[in-house]
């Protein structure tokens, strides 16, 4: 589990507030796909394959990780910009958590949303 801020924590996952889950967040640029689906599909795996569904790519190392991380961050910014009422919910939360993320997890929605929450403008 990763946590940002102080308790009580707003859980940003499919087991918490689903509006902040990458499985449910769907920025318009992804044309109906979720952030999680797009992130996993864009990974280039060590065997050179890409375009996998989220189940087969999740947990596997991407050789294009910097690009994946940048896109993941950008999709969250886009999603919050498209849903500005969600920024107010983030700002009211004293902390955010992701029960499925570990320290070595390269992308964590709680971290991205915490960064967005604490920026003056996005």
CA of 43: how far to CAs of 15, 37, 67, 111, in Å? 25, 10, 9, 20
Number of structural domains the chain divides into: 1
* Residue 50, pLDDT score: 93
Q: Which domain holds residue 10?
A: 2-118
**Mean pLDDT per 10-residue section of the chain, whose length is 122 residues:** 97 98 98 98 95 89 96 98 97 97 93 92 50
* Residue 13, pLDDT score: 97
Place of tokens 């999709």: 75
* Residue 122, pLDDT score: 46
Residue from 112, 117, 121 nearest 2 by CA: 112
**Entry pTM:** 0.92
């Amino acid at each position: 589990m990763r946590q940002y801020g102080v308790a009580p924590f707003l859980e940003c996952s499919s087991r918490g507030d689903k509006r902040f889950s990458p499985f449910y967040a769907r920025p318009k640029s992804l044309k109906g796909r979720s952030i999680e689906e797009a992130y996993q599909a864009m990974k280039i795996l060590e065997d050179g394959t890409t375009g996998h569904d989220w189940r087969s790519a999740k947990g596997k190392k991407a050789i294009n990780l910097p690009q994946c991380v940048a896109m993941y961050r950008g999709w969250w910014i886009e999603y919050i910009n498209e849903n500005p009422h969600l920024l107010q919910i983030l700002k009211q939360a004293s902390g955010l958590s992701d029960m499925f993320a570990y320290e070595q997890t390269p992308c964590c929605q709680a971290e991205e949303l915490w960064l967005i929450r604490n920026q003056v403008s996005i």
